[in-house]
Structure 1
């Protein structure tokens, strides 16, 4: 399983627009073939900074999403709202405690 972490920083005046767009797209992203999990986090101190965590069956599944019409549509609406370049990491989960 591949874990994808994306850090996004938005213009403060654009946060509500981002959240509305995410609300419309989140179920489509989560139900995309190969996606097992999706969460959105907001930084407590820098409230214009958000993170998505998603779990993918494989790198191929993530790449299929990243090249899909769904991603292109979501990204086209999200990208103009940034106030800094987004950062992304693909990581392997080493431990998980509950």
Structure 2
């Protein structure tokens, strides 16, 4: 049985995005310009971009946040609004977002 003093919780966010094939380079430019700013947001502990092995126009962001409040503060920020406005026009399909809570034995 785990003792609660050995647990820490973190919100893990996945966002799956499908892009128009001719817009992938545009998206990668947007991500490159914004990634360090996102990583610097309060509560962001980790951010990576993954590309589907067999569908090169499909990407997924994977980020770790200290709390849902921190994620929501980012989502309410001017940085998110500006980045999302540049990104969403490149989509081929509606993005899918998942927020998961991690319980990590430390």
TM (normalized to structure 1)? 0.94
Cα deviations across residues 40-78 of structure 1 (Å, max 9, x unaligned)? Answer: 000010110000000000000000000000000000000
List 4+ stretches of structure 1 deviating above 4 A: none
Structure 1 runs not aligned, ≥5 long: none
How many residue pairs end up in the alignment? 96
For residues 16 and 102 of structure 2, what CA distance do their matches in structure 1 show?
18
TM (normalized to structure 2)? 0.87
Q: Which has the higher strand share?
A: 2
In the alignment, which of 58, 62, 69 is matched to residue 78 of structure 2? 69
Bigger Rg, structure 1 or 2: 2
Structure 2 runs not aligned, ≥5 long: 1-9
